[in-house]
A and B are shown apart, each in its own frame.
Chain A
Amino acid sequence: MIRPILALLLLAAPAHAERAVFELSQEQVSITSTFSGTELTVYGAIRPDPGEAAPDTPPGVIVTIEGPEGVAIIRQKTREAGIWVNSDAAAYAPVPSFYDVATSAPLADLLRGSEDAAYNISVPARTRAVTARQPSGDPQAFAAAMTRIGERSGRFRSREGAVRLAQGALFDAHFSLPSSTSQGDYVVRVFLTRDGRVIDATRRVFAVRKAPLERYVYQFAQGNGTLYGCIAVLIAIATGWLASVIFRKDRR
């Protein structure tokens, strides 16, 4: 009898007014010809609102990074007449191409389900999207497959304890973006939580861009495909000819 009342009281209690301020170790990531992924550190401080004393215990800290969004296509193979065939497919959009959640404690301890659904923080909550194509089979299985394969391939990550707290007021989290990082705008979000509720949410955008030469090649391939293809063939022929000349000289 007492428990529900206690819970109600907690729910009604005003959240502590604390805010996070943070910085990124890189404001702009450039994809150059030797790019092989990059490291990014989010570091910051937790400050009580002016005139309020800092509580005894630090709040929970959650830091997320998400990549540009796209359409996720999930296909299912089934056995038909002895051979495995792609028989069913589902498509969801928009889904982030990369999503990494770092937390200062197990996510379930920091966040209750309703708050997760409101702020889209956990991997399943953030990657849930509009169904662009309904599978004919069980939709639950397709949604579960997206999370499962996404986590296995490192596209979606959930790292408990990856946010370090120091002196009760400073935090930092390390992220590594893979070499397959797509260019676009990346969003960093920082949440502070107390008693399973979000008390502060801030976001920041940083850009991942190709270096000028890489960008030029890409735009040329998109803009004038036929000419680009012809040049690619000419380069190949030149390479083949060069090798043949070198080998002929080598022979004499």
Chain B
Amino acid sequence: MERTKRIRDVTLYLPIAEVSVNAWVILGLGGLVGFLSGLFGVGGGFLLTPLLFFAGIPPAVAVSTQANQIVASSFSGTLAHLRRGTLDLKMGLMLLAGGLAGSAVGVWIFNLLSRIGQVDLMVQLFYVVFLGGIGAMMFVESARALTRKAPVRRKRQRGWAARMPLRMRFRTSGLVISVIPVLGIGFLCGVLAAIMGVGGGFVMLPAMIYLLKMPTKIVVGTSLFQIMFTSAFTTVLHAATDHSVDVLLALLLSIGGVLGAQFGARFGARLRGEQLRILLSILVLIVCFKVALDLVLAPDDPFSFTMELMR
């Protein structure tokens, strides 16, 4: 009896967050988000950050530390996809190159917005507009694909991406397309990710599916590969500028996250592309709805109280 109680409440003090947490709760949160990450190829920061707020982690620490845990889960997921051959390395590198340039520009725009003020509001509005638009579009498309009796193979029409110059062969994705739209999409996603403070998986995934016309299963692995680099970059940036990355919290989240990601990747292998897409679109719409609700509903108390210690 005594022992089970001791196992049940393992409290750990987090040295940077300066609060103590129940280790099992944090492991569980990491596992849940890792599962979604492995399944859909999203980083999961958009879900983990608010969940960490609920667990009592200070906002600044939650935002920076979730980036660190995404490094772990996306690396684990990337390896799983690499073994299964569902990762287009060449495409991932091209997107990454565009993405890094884009996030530099994005950080610049973010600083410009914060100088004007109301950056939080801008971020929330971006969430609602982008998540809502992308989610609705994906939902309609995948629902249509699912309701079709026999899954017809989408005929691979030569889109605009194939007609542009500087064509390149992406063998894993089975595409011969120009690098210009690939770099451009990477760049745009980098800009949005930096402004919205997320890994960008949400914007990247539909762009790869609908604009580049990559197979859904390859998209997940490739997105994880790219997210791994951007989240590592974000972690170091946060650690260097606001010292708010908590290694112990990240380790707990990572252990849960990597296990979850492995299960997620396996579970995802059993699903059809359109099933994966409709589930992702539902998740996107739920998050979008939640953000929109926060903007429109009256808060319990219009006042809020935060404290900054003098050191």
- B residues less than 8 Å from A225 (CB atoms): 239-241, 243
Against B, the Cβ 8 Å flags (1 = close, 0 = not) of A168-194 are: 000000000001101110000000000
**Inside 8 A of B258's CB, which chain A residues have their CB?**
239-240, 242-244
Select which of A155, A222, A241 is within 8 A of B75 by beta carbon: A241
Q: Does B286 sit within 8 A of A, measured CB to CB? A: no
Residues of chain B within 8 A (CB-CB) of A31 are: 13
Q: Mark A195-231, 1 if CB is under 8 A from B, else 0.
A: 0000000000000001001110110011001101111
Segment of A32-40, A47-55, A113-121 engaged in the interface with chain B: A32-40
Mask of B133-160 contacts with A, CB within 8 angstroms, 1/0: 0000000000000000000000000000
Is there a chain A Cβ closer than 8 Å to B176's Cβ?
no
Select the stretch in B105-113, B165-173, B187-195, B298-306 that faces chain A. B298-306
Q: What is the number of residues of chain A that contact chain B, defined by CB distance less than 8 Å?
A: 69
* Contact A214/B239 with A68-B309, A70-B308, A240-B254 known, Cβ cut-off 8 Å: no
Q: Would A76 and B247 count as touching, CB distance under 8 A?
A: no
Residue of A nearest to B260 (CB): A243
B310 CB-CB contact with A under 8 Å: yes
Would you list which residues of chain A between 225 and 252 have a CB under 8 Å from chain B?
225-226, 228-233, 235-237, 239-244, 247-248
Interface string of A44-62 (1 = CB under 8 A from B): 0000000000000000000
Which residues of A, 119-150, contact B by the 8 Å Cβ criterion? 141-142, 145-146, 148-150
A79 and chain B: residue at smallest CB distance: B298
Residues of A within 8 Å of B120, CB to CB, are 86
A142-B303, A145-B303, A235-B250 known; A247 and B80 CB under 8 Å?
Answer: yes
Give the residues from 42 to 93 in chain A that come closer than 8 angstroms, CB to CB, to chain B: 68-79, 82-86, 93
Residue of B nearest to A221 (CB): B243
Given contacts A71-B307, A247-B262, contact A84 B75 (CB under 8 A): no
Interface string of B56-69 (1 = CB under 8 A from A): 10000000000011
* Contact partners of B177 in chain A: CB under 8 A: none
- A95 located at the interface, meaning its Cβ lies under 8 Å from any Cβ of chain B in the complex: yes
Cα-based distance from A75 to B301 in the complex (angstroms) = 10
Task: Kindly state whether residue B15 has any CB partner on chain A within 8 Å.
Answer: yes
Residues of A within 8 A of B (CB): 31-37, 68-79, 82-86, 93-95, 97, 141-142, 145-146, 148-150, 153, 155, 179-180, 182-184, 210, 213-215, 217-218, 221-222, 225-226, 228-233, 235-237, 239-244, 247-248
Q: Closest 8 interchain pairs by CB?
A: A229-B239, A240-B75, A243-B258, A145-B303, A240-B76, A229-B236, A236-B72, A236-B71
Interface contacts beyond A97-B309, A228-B239, A228-B245: sample of 4 additional A-B pairs, CB < 8 Å, sorted by A:
A31-B13, A70-B308, A180-B20, A241-B79
Can you sample 14 A-B contacts with CB below 8 Å? A74-B303, A75-B304, A76-B302, A76-B303, A179-B19, A218-B16, A225-B243, A231-B247, A232-B239, A232-B245, A233-B236, A241-B75, A244-B80, A248-B83
